[in-house]
Chain A
Amino acid sequence: MTYDLVVVGGGPAGLAAAYEAFNNGIESILIIERDMELGGILNQCIHNGFGLHTFKEELTGPEYAERFIDKITDTSIEVKLDTMVLDIKEKTIYAMNPIDGYMEIESKAIILAMGCRERTRGAIYVPGDRPAGVFTAGAAQRYINIEGYMVGKEVVILGSGDIGLIMARRMTLEGAKVKAVIELMPYSNGLNRNIVQCLEDYDIPLYLSHTVTQIIGKTRLEKIVVSQVDDNKKPIKGTEKTFTCDTLLLSVGLIPENELSKQAGLQIDTRTNGLVVNETMQTSNEGIFACGNVLHVHDLVDFVTQEAQTAGKYAASYIKDEYKKGTSVKVKNGKGITYTVPQNMNTISKESIRVFMRVSTPSYHQKIVVNCGGKEIASFKKKTLLPAEMQSIVLTKEHLAAIEGDITIYLEEGK
């Protein structure tokens, strides 16, 4: 089997990347998806709030996915569902499914769009028993919204990221009593709007600077102990509170899913746990591109779509032999910034480059400064910077012309 482009993953990133490559003149495209339908995680995100940037309207997850699935259906793009990619070596993809069996697929270019997965109880070392009733929030979301199983009646949620907040409302609407949302950090990691419409609307208390310190239950979860933590995130003795509950949902972070990338020998960024890319979304191997949560975890699908379109466009130009290589400079993160994507950029880029980043702590009235060799080449005023909200800046042609070597991006007081 031979294709010009193979896209691994049929979620929002893979769909948008494939469609963009098609629009840039590539007709021989295969999307490989391991689930039995396209759409990825959007299918279980039945709440609304998707697409304000991309479609200028507020859609639910399945609606957002369906817009892209419909676009793909009208093209020559082929899709293999229920198909697992086992390995990638150079430009050969080894995959299998129940219909074709084992396949070796040759491709001129590859786009990796495998998304991310949830951190589990094992990743955060919660002590105690190991009863039934402890779920990751995303798994519970799938049970309730797609499979039609209610996971519990009395619920505590650990982690106030968006999935945790959305699930607090979802469980409440379905008749469960959500007793508390527990957050280790002194601030929530979810969007403010979700705190309002998921917690405050339903009088669900949010305990900041708290964590779960004991899980108790013989066969099913019976209760949990929650403690306040100090500045070093260590539980404070004497602050223990007990909640009786049959369900604990964990919303404690997502990890880019890069087993395949590692097997393919691609460079991984230890800050994002995602792939290292340049401004064209090309990874450390020529002709292999990546986009979406496999690079870094996004809070808005709209940004995934943007990134995927970049990957699709440049994969197309690589296939058409129009991809230009220039001198690569590194994008380093300085004070207040935890990471940037892309990590490298070509100074010959003829188009403006969007750089995504996250800040390490909540900060206000700051400037995001781009510095090259001691010279400030750009700065962007920001009123509010929260770790939960991914930031982005756009470097224009003029900015790029001033870049002569590696650049550093950092925060500065900006009055």
Chain B
Amino acid sequence: MTAELKKLTCIVCPMGCELQVDEKKKIVTGHTCKRGEIYGIEEVTHPTRVITTTVKLAKSIYPMLPVKTNGAIPKDLNFKCMAILNQVEWRAPVKLGDIIVKDLLGTGIDVVATRTMGLKK
């Protein structure tokens, strides 16, 4: 009996290992680290991604504040996440790690600022 192997390129780190995932038995081969193995299983069961983008920022030297989801969210929520963040308007000062949106779309994941932005002098 030949198992159904799904070929994936691991995106956990820049090495980009070529993975083979047995979708039925949930066995990963080709990974070189534990995180790659977890990625292989997750990618065929419930793929997730970290979203990095910007929100509007007032009173700082630049009008945009870079943000990220502080964990991976289900891939099919990518554009819903963007739609929510497009409505957000923040105000300086802001510190790296400040929570911009709490519990995004009920995922338990927060959207946080990825840099410190002072008030415009």
Using a CB–CB cutoff of 8 Å, the interface residues on chain A facing chain B are: 36-37, 43, 46-49, 52, 58, 60, 62-63, 65-66, 144-148, 173-175, 191-193, 195-197, 201, 299-300, 389
Chain B: CB-nearest residue to A166: B52
Residue A173 contacts which of B14, B50, B51, B115 (CB distance < 8 angstroms)?
A: B51
Output the least CB separation between B83 and chain A (Å). 10
In the docked arrangement, what's the CA distance between A191 and B11, Å? 9
Using a CB–CB cutoff of 8 Å, the interface residues on chain B facing chain A are: 8-14, 16, 49-54, 56, 61-64, 66, 68, 75, 78-79, 82, 96, 114-116
Q: Are B75 and A48 in contact (CB under 8 A)?
A: no
Can you report 19 A-B residue pairs in the complex whose CB atoms are below 8 A from each other?
Answer: A46-B66, A47-B52, A60-B68, A62-B66, A62-B115, A63-B115, A65-B115, A66-B96, A66-B116, A144-B54, A145-B54, A146-B64, A147-B64, A148-B62, A148-B63, A173-B78, A174-B82, A193-B11, A193-B14
In addition to A47-B52, A193-B9, 15 A-B residue pairs with Cβ atoms within 8 Å of each other are: A46-B52, A46-B66, A48-B50, A52-B14, A60-B68, A60-B114, A62-B115, A66-B96, A146-B64, A173-B79, A174-B53, A191-B14, A195-B9, A196-B9, A201-B75
Write out the residue numbers on chain B whose beta carbons fall within 8 Å of the beta carbon of A36: 61
In the docked arrangement, what's the CA distance between A193 and B8, Å? 10
Q: Are B61 and A62 in contact (CB under 8 A)?
A: no
**Provided the pairs A62-B66, A147-B63, A196-B9 are in contact, do residues A46 and B54 lie with their beta carbons within 8 angstroms?**
yes
In the docked arrangement, what's the CA distance between A389 and B66, Å? 27
Q: Are B49 and A46 in contact (CB under 8 A)?
A: no
In the docked arrangement, what's the CA distance between A145 and B52, Å? 10
Q: Are A148 and B64 in contact (CB under 8 A)?
A: yes
Residue B13 contacts which of A37, A146, A173, A193 (CB distance < 8 angstroms)?
A: A193
Output the least CB separation between A179 and chain B (Å). 18
In the docked arrangement, what's the CA distance between A18 and B14, Å? 27
| B16, B49, B96 interface centre (most CB from chain A within 10 Å) | B16
Residue B52 contacts which of A52, A60, A147, A148 (CB distance < 8 angstroms)?
A: A60
In the docked arrangement, what's the CA distance between A173 and B13, Å? 21
Q: Are A197 and B62 in contact (CB under 8 A)?
A: no
**Provided the pairs A145-B66, A193-B13 are in contact, do residues A37 and B61 lie with their beta carbons within 8 angstroms?**
yes
Chain A: CB-nearest residue to B79: A173
Chain A: CB-nearest residue to B95: A66
Chain B: CB-nearest residue to A299: B14
Chain A: CB-nearest residue to B53: A173
In the docked arrangement, what's the CA distance between A60 and B116, Å? 13
Chain A: CB-nearest residue to B97: A63
In the docked arrangement, what's the CA distance between A34 and B66, Å? 22
Write out the residue numbers on chain A whose beta carbons fall within 8 Å of the beta carbon of B53: 46, 173-174
In the docked arrangement, what's the CA distance between A173 and B67, Å? 14
Write out the residue numbers on chain B whose beta carbons fall within 8 Å of the beta carbon of A63: 96, 114-115
Write out the residue numbers on chain A whose beta carbons fall within 8 Å of the beta carbon of B51: 173
Minimum-distance CB pairs A-B, first 7: A192-B16, A62-B115, A46-B66, A193-B11, A148-B63, A60-B114, A148-B64
Write out the residue numbers on chain B whose beta carbons fall within 8 Å of the beta carbon of A192: 9, 16
In the docked arrangement, what's the CA distance between A286 and B80, Å? 56
Output the least CB separation between B66 and chain A (Å). 4
Write out the residue numbers on chain A whose beta carbons fall within 8 Å of the beta carbon of B63: 147-148
Write out the residue numbers on chain A whose beta carbons fall within 8 Å of the beta carbon of B9: 192-193, 195-196
In the docked arrangement, what's the CA distance between A49 and B13, Å? 7
Chain A: CB-nearest residue to B67: A46
Q: Are B11 and A197 in contact (CB under 8 A)?
A: yes
In the docked arrangement, what's the CA distance between A389 and B14, Å? 9
Output the least CB separation between B10 and chain A (Å). 7
Output the least CB separation between B97 and chain A (Å). 9
Q: Are A60 and B66 in contact (CB under 8 A)?
A: yes
In the docked arrangement, what's the CA distance between A63 and B65, Å? 12
**Provided the pairs A66-B115, A148-B62 are in contact, do residues A196 and B11 lie with their beta carbons within 8 angstroms?**
yes
Output the least CB separation between A11 and chain B (Å). 15
Chain A: CB-nearest residue to B113: A62
| B10, B14, B62 interface centre (most CB from chain A within 10 Å) | B14
